[in-house]
Chain A
Amino acid sequence: MALVRIDINGEKIEAEEGARLLDVLLEHDVYVPHLCALEGEKRPYAACRLCFVEVDGQEQPQCACLTNVKEGLSVDTRGTKAFELAKGVFSLHLFEHRVDCVDCALGNSGAVCEIRRAARYFGMPLHSVWRSEVAEEVEPDESAGLKIDHASCVLCGKCVRICKETGHAFLGMANRGARTCVIADSRVRRDRSVCIECRACMTQCPTASISL
């Protein structure tokens, strides 16, 4: 791949043509909030809708994970329009994510919490307007092995995709609308196979919602 020159927040940098803009931004230490991007994915999932940036020549903010690097690309990650839009979406994330940092496995492990980082970036207080709706509706499968905390899950779908990538496809999404949730269920598998506990999903989860 050829290297092309692009402009990020007024800084000229070189990047591979066709690369995902989000990766390039993160590589160059330009932080854009993101929750659902998985490394090396062919077709971006683009569900968290947080990585909005302003691209020259485009009227509306674009998702960095959906923008590909090309010659002459000029990006502003701090534009008001993109910032406000992403902030609006993030407030909706807080609507779904139960903020409980004291008991959070992620915080206790010392890893970087993408939600906290995003909240700092947007300058928003971290308290959720969370409401339990999903948790009670899904009957957990005892034989599944995995426990999923629906209350803190933000449905980025990383676990489902990584599970599919590892060839197990043991995790899946269930229901529609506000009742959507991730399920770990041996009942959905036709061959009745069970989780091999490879922990790929746990390492990917941005909210530490999956436990064994």
Chain B
Amino acid sequence: MTAHRTPDAEQRETTAGYDALFEAATQRISEAIAEDTELVLVNTATCARSVGALEVLDAVKAVTRDGERVVIETGCLGHCYAEPTLCIGTIADGFKVYGYVDAVAARFIVADAKTGSLLSDPYLIGRLDADGSVVSEELAPRVAHERRLILRNCGVIDPLDIDQYVAAGGYRALAHALSMEGAEVIDALERARLRGRGGAGFPTATKWRICAEQETNDRAIVCNADEGDPGAFIDRALLESDPHSLIEGMAIAAHAVGAARGYIYVRAEYPLAIERVRHAIEQARERSILGQGVLGSGLSFDIEVFEAAGSFACGEETALLASMEGGRGTPVPRPPYPAQSGLDDLPTVIDNVKTLTYVRHIVEDGGEAFARFGMPESTGTAVFALSGKVAMPGLIEVPMGTTLREAVFDVGGGMQDPNFEKPGTSAKDTLIFGERIWTPPARDYEFKAVQIGGPSGGCLPASCLDMPIAFDTLDKAGAMMGSGGLVVMADDDCMVDMARYFLGFTSSESCGKCTPCRAGSQCMLDVLTRISEGDGAEDDMRKLQQLAETMQHASLCNLGRTAPNPVLTTLRYFEDEYRRHIELHECPALVCRNLISYVFDDVRCPSACDECCIVCEAIVSDTGYDGLQGRVFRTHEIIDELCTRCGICVDSCAGRTFRAISKVTPALRKGE
């Protein structure tokens, strides 16, 4: 632990300010919630709302009589596959976590909470642990790897109630930091070797020190919550579930560098996050955690929320500042770095939400404790938004150095379509419906690649599975930590198509300022589109490589420099797939529309339901008569010229154990 300054009047006052805050909060909470009051925690973050959490909340409230139990809206537990989730229990006895809940299920789950029942048990996914992880036999591999540090409060406390945050130990780190010199706080970060979680991994202590060393009276803190990567939703979850952690981190940063103004730059596409952060800031002002004299100390600091207009390029720090100053969100060359001259030419600390949220844990537990997690050069934990073809997608927090295999197969539950095995579709809840319904078994996919770091990251193949996740190892493999998106891809995902998707994203999100990024990404997109349409030329791969190198070394900002990463990594690890697209005009994953055809198998179609003919005009059916067997049968034909490869015929096929329609590559051409 860092050495304390000799106690003086200000420190005593600060501690008194915190003590009063803590006592008031615990008292208010204990008045409202007794040890044995039944609590229902409903996750109403954006992720859960999209699958009906608000209906669940209404249902729970409808069956709750006054004073019977307390219903609390919380944030995200990280178990996205099981949303909406519901936690029921008492502080004394702990909480049970139910997943896959809907409005109907919520009623009987709440009613049978104490006893448990045949109806509610299939929905039970585990027991809530102190650090917010869900413990059960099935989730044991996940819990074994999880180390919840910044996700600790997520889904457990009420983000709209500052008292709960304070009672959970919140703002103690701020009080502690205020009793230290600013430089001591930075020293603690240095010992923690905290690196920025926004993607580049710049040492946070160095950034803060540069800012603190500038000769000026005024500085600014900006929190970058412009999370624009496809497949990343960590910042949103943090802002919606635990906004006070961020406010505390920013206040500590303000004390450390001597700033009076703070801004949270949130994208306007996160309306709930903005609402909850604004509410949290209001509450913090009421408790004099923000404003004049933070916690009774000499520090004055206030935070404003800045709603971003939603541009991926604005995640770059200089572009972010330009857009905050009212200009076009385009980057300017560095140096000077924002820490030297940033917002309105003031020295500005710009940090990601995750980075700032870590700060309170480092100040409280000490830098050394934080550095014990993870790898020597990448300390602490890493938070990932796990998605794609894994059984249990969601938010995961694991120590740095966890291998990709552990993240995908243990924490993520292995390769499986997450849409299977829900109550109502699996065999174990046959009792609910009274009859055994046959459902297709969950398909096990073969691991193909993991896309890490979004559009700036890369695709790593199975040979990289045992690589520890850390800033430097990912860099070496051609990927990037990025903002923490981790998309798992299986054998039915086409790598060329994937690269094309990400290039399409970066080329449309390029700010358009510098030529290599603007025209280069467009050129690369053209080439990739050509390849995926089967018109690839011999030297297209060399062309891609050349364009990628130009972009990497000539672009103005990191968006352009890292934009070719998805292409470079797929070229490096999946060269064969490109070759097959270009030379054989086939798409092994059966994804690229111009390279596949749908074929109908009359022999395997016994039902003659004609469902496919109804949904698609490109399929024509006819009646035939089998004289030998004496039965009428249906013949189908797919007219290839009319087929748009939408795949609706496959989905409509009534065959449960197989589909009569399948895809083939290369595409059937006329006369073949």
Contact = CB atoms under 8 A, between A and B. Distances in A.
Interface stretch (A3-11, A112-120, A169-177, A196-204): A169-177
Interface stretch (A85-93, A101-109, A143-151): A85-93
B333 A177 contact: no
Contact of A176 (B311, B519, B546, B550): B311
Interface stretch (B14-22, B553-561, B578-586): B553-561
Contact of A85 (B332, B521, B554): B554
A84 B307 CA distance: 42
Nearest to A180: B512
Contacts of B508: 176-178
A192 interface: no
Interface residues of A, number: 30
A92 B333 contact: no
B514 interface: yes
A43 B332 CA distance: 8
B367 interface: no
A47 B515 CA distance: 6
Interface in A39-75: 43-44, 46-49, 52, 60-61, 63, 66
A177 B311 contact: no
B564 to A, nearest CB: 12
A173 B508 CA distance: 15
A15 interface: no
A122 interface: no
Nearest to A92: B519
Contact of B514 (A49, A173, A178): A49
Contact of B554 (A89, A96, A178, A179): A89
A92 B517 CA distance: 10
A124 to B, nearest CB: 14
Contacts of B513: 47, 155, 157, 180
A95 interface: yes
Contacts of A86: 554
B328 A66 contact: no
Interface in A148-189: 154-155, 157, 172-173, 175-180
Given A43-B333, A44-B333, A49 B512 contact: no
Contacts of B172: none
A160 to B, nearest CB: 9
A172 B523 CA distance: 25
Nearest to B511: A176
Contacts of A49: 514-516, 554-556
Interface string B499-523: 0000000011111111110111111
A201 B330 CA distance: 21
B549 interface: yes
Contacts, number: 91
B549 A88 contact: yes
A154 B518 CA distance: 11
Contacts of A95: 519, 522-523
B47 to A, nearest CB: 28
Interface in B538-569: 546-547, 549-550, 553-556
Contacts of B556: 46-47, 49
Nearest to B514: A47
A66 B554 CA distance: 13
Nearest to A133: B522
A178 B518 contact: yes
A209 to B, nearest CB: 15
Interface in B306-360: 311, 313, 328, 330, 332-333
Nearest to B546: A88
A92 B560 CA distance: 14
A96 B512 contact: no
Contacts of A93: 515, 519
B512 A176 contact: yes
Nearest to B519: A92
B487 to A, nearest CB: 23
A191 B507 CA distance: 33
A178 B553 contact: no
Contact of A175 (B313, B512, B514, B523): B512
Contacts of A85: 550, 553-554
Contacts of A155: 512-513, 515, 518
Contacts of A44: 333
Contacts of B313: 176
B509 A177 contact: yes
Most buried by A among B330, B519, B523: B519
A153 B139 CA distance: 58
A173 B313 CA distance: 15
Given A49-B554, A173-B328, A176-B313, 6 more contacts: A47-B513, A47-B556, A89-B515, A89-B554, A92-B515, A178-B507
Interface of B: 311, 313, 328, 330, 332-333, 507-516, 518-523, 546-547, 549-550, 553-556
23 contacts: A44-B333, A46-B332, A47-B515, A47-B556, A48-B515, A49-B516, A52-B554, A66-B333, A88-B546, A88-B554, A89-B515, A89-B516, A92-B519, A93-B515, A95-B523, A96-B519, A154-B515, A155-B518, A177-B507, A177-B510, A177-B512, A177-B518, A180-B511
Interface of A: 43-44, 46-49, 52, 60-61, 63, 66, 85-86, 88-89, 92-93, 95-96, 154-155, 157, 172-173, 175-180
8 A-B pairs with least C-beta separation: A180-B512, A88-B550, A92-B519, A178-B522, A46-B333, A47-B514, A177-B510, A49-B554
